[in-house]
Amino acid sequence: MSVWLGALGSIICGLGNPKTAVFFAQFAESIITDPKKVAAPAIVSLCRYLACFAAIQFTSSYVMQITFSSASYNLSKTIRYILFRHILRMEPGFFDIHENRVNALMSALVVDVERVKDIGGSLIGAFLQPASAIIGAFTVTIATEWKLGLLSIVYSPVLIIQGIFHSRIRYFAKDKERKGIKRYSGYIFESFSSIRTVKAFNMERYLLERFNKDTKLEQRRERKAVILSIVVFSLSRGMVLYFLGFTFWYGSKLVEEKDGTVFALVVAYLSILCATDSVNEIFIRGKEFHKGSQSIRNISRVLDTTPEIDACSADGEVIPEENVEDTILLQDVYFAYPSDPDIGILYGIDVYIPTQKVVGLVGPRGAGKSTILDLIKHFYEPDSGSVKFNGIDITCLNVATYRRYFGVVDQEPKFYPQETVAENVALAVPLTKGIHYNYNKYRSGAIMHDHIINACKMANIHDQIVQLEDGYETTFYETCFNNSELTRLALARALIRNPKILILDGTIWTEEDKPLISALKQIIPRQTTIIAGRNISSLVDMVDWIYMIEQGRIVEAGTHDYLTSAKKKYYTLVNETTNS
């Protein structure tokens, strides 16, 4: 309903200029007819008309702006929410594809939604208002003097041509300016980001001279663009003046032959000016409409992509808590990432993780360890083979419920800088346990605070947190945690979920990181654990079985003692990483 009111307000605003032309034409004719007797009453009458008309224009303009603003705001809010929700539903493989990189999705959520907002609001009014002005101008001209009206219709192609020239020149000049700014910005960024190199080799004078040279070159480019735009713009505006001159000549002939009136001539003149400005406005807005249409296609492309692994779906089997045995089995798994399906990552992988056991995945960088963990977490699905949990293929299980069984510590754990330390830990708490994700909403509950402190104590990070100025209430970006402390904080976040299976994805687990190793030695024996890394020698006394992975294949398997005594690939890798 609000959009229709806005459209009505736009049409009334657009019809205002042709109606004003009629008022001024009546005033002009009155002065010419009898300037001494009629001028003063005509001015008073015109002022009354304009005062009433101004009130109508103000009301219609207000209705147009307020309704379209409200409609466009609601539209952008709805689209942004739907788009963000849909992106969150997508599996990690979706983000691996180049056109779905983070910058592109950010652009869709911010820039594209704003452009669609303009199409759904202000651009509708921006098109309706000049369109109604053009129609009104031609209608008024034909109604007052049909010969001049027909002449205006003949002039329509000229209007369109000059409108195209006008908009193209504006776009051409802006595009040149934008490219120039981009070149400036790139050069300045390179200079400042390499400031240490600049200082080390005394490059200040060279860079300044180069900057001055490039600036002059850019000025010459812009000067050519400006001159061209001025010439073409002048020609396009000249076309309007040529036709106006012809209209005056023809109208004066009609007046002289008593076949027309001064009133009709002035109406035609002002209507042509009104139509010219309105056509220019439409073509200028056309660029924005084109960008908005492209944004709609960008958003539609994301929304039309169906998630292959939907964590928000209620579909899938849910294993009763008492029947969960924590066993995982990968059988003859082959896999390639969706972003590059021609390059294989895993070849015939067979891995068995029994309940209450600790299994290690060891191998050099890029061997496929993290990929195996991603398949276990159901971030991806294998190209062939199967991944089973509790004897059931994980593709048959409810995704969200299945993932709640895991506590994950990644190689490079990520945290939310605007949240507090406590909030970052509490974010991992499942909703099904009756505790809300937002720590601020349950911070008064002592039981929740105890959960966070206990998890941090188990991860050996509690002492570092309490030393912060605000302790657990310290905003994360104000902390200065080192890599070891970040890993332990991630461990606390994993433990607060009370997971059935703990996944530790690292590079090298060494005795040098004593607080972390000490925490892991207390935690690991209590539950099923998967440890991935290039060297897990500091934890081998707790590891029941080790798989040696190389180039996507399992090349060795056994206990640490067995693989060490065999003195093959595992033995070589452990020695290399330990010595380095």
> Are domains 1-143+290-308 and 311-405+501-579 of this chain identical in fold?
no
Average model confidence (pLDDT) across the chain: 78
Query: Domain extents for the chain?
Result: 1-143+290-308, 311-405+501-579, 414-498
pLDDT score of 438: 47
Q: Which residue reads 């704003």 in tokens?
A: 114
Distance, in Å, from the CA atom of 128 to the CA atom of 71, rounded to the nearest integer, reads: 16
Reported as type and span, the H/E element at residue 130 is helix 122-144
| Cα torsion angle, 88, 91, 92, 96, sign | negative
Sorted by sequence, the CB contacts under 8 Å of residue 571 that are 6+ apart come out as 563, 564
What is the maximal distance between C-alpha atoms in the chain? 121
Q: Which residue reads 């601020």 in tokens?
A: 440
- Pick one of 1.10.357.10, 2.60.120.10, 1.20.1560.10, 3.40.50.620 as the CATH number of 1-143+290-308: 1.20.1560.10
Question: What does the pLDDT look like over 319-357, one tens digit per residue?
Answer: 887 778 778 999 999 999 888 888 889 999 999 999 888
Find the distance separating the first CA and the last CA of the chain, reported in whole Å: 71
Distance, in Å, from the CA atom of 456 to the CA atom of 486, rounded to the nearest integer, reads: 12
Residues 140 and 22: beta-carbon distance below 8 Å: yes
pLDDT score of 242: 72
Distance, in Å, from the CA atom of 427 to the CA atom of 411, rounded to the nearest integer, reads: 19
pLDDT score of 443: 44
pLDDT score of 38: 56
One pLDDT digit (tens) per residue for the chain, 580 residues: 566 776 777 777 777 777 777 777 766 666 666 666 555 666 677 777 777 877 877 887 777 777 777 777 888 888 889 999 888 888 888 888 878 888 788 888 888 888 888 776 666 767 777 777 777 777 777 777 777 666 766 666 766 666 666 666 666 666 666 666 666 666 677 777 777 777 777 777 877 887 777 777 777 766 766 676 677 667 666 676 777 777 777 777 777 777 767 777 777 777 777 777 777 677 767 677 777 778 888 888 888 888 888 888 888 888 887 778 778 999 999 999 888 888 889 999 999 999 888 999 998 888 899 999 999 999 999 999 999 998 899 999 998 888 888 899 988 888 888 888 888 888 887 654 434 444 444 443 444 678 888 889 998 899 888 888 888 888 887 777 888 888 889 999 999 888 889 999 876 566 667 888 888 888 887 789 999 988 787 777 788 899 999 999 999 999 888 888 888 888 888 787 766 5
Q: How many CB atoms lie within 10 A of CB 438?
A: 12
Domain 311-405+501-579 in CATH 3.40.50.300: yes
pLDDT score of 350: 93
Give the rounded percent of residues in the chain with a pLDDT score beyond 70.
Answer: 77
Nearest to 373 by CA among 385, 383, 359: 359
Distance, in Å, from the CA atom of 264 to the CA atom of 500, rounded to the nearest integer, reads: 88
Residues 487 and 516: beta-carbon distance below 8 Å: yes
DSSP designation for 326: -
**Distances 471 to 426, 475, 497, 516 between C-alpha atoms, Å:** 15, 9, 22, 20
Burial classification of residue 260, based on how many CB atoms lie within 10 Å of its CB (0-12 exposed, 13-18 middle, 19 or more buried): buried
Output the CATH code of domain 414-498.
3.40.50.300
pTM over 0.85: no
SS3 content of the chain, % helix, strand, coil (to 5): 65, 10, 25
3-state class of 315 per DSSP?
A: coil
| Cα torsion angle, 551, 552, 553, 559, sign | positive
Tell me which amino acid residue 95 is: F
pLDDT score of 548: 92
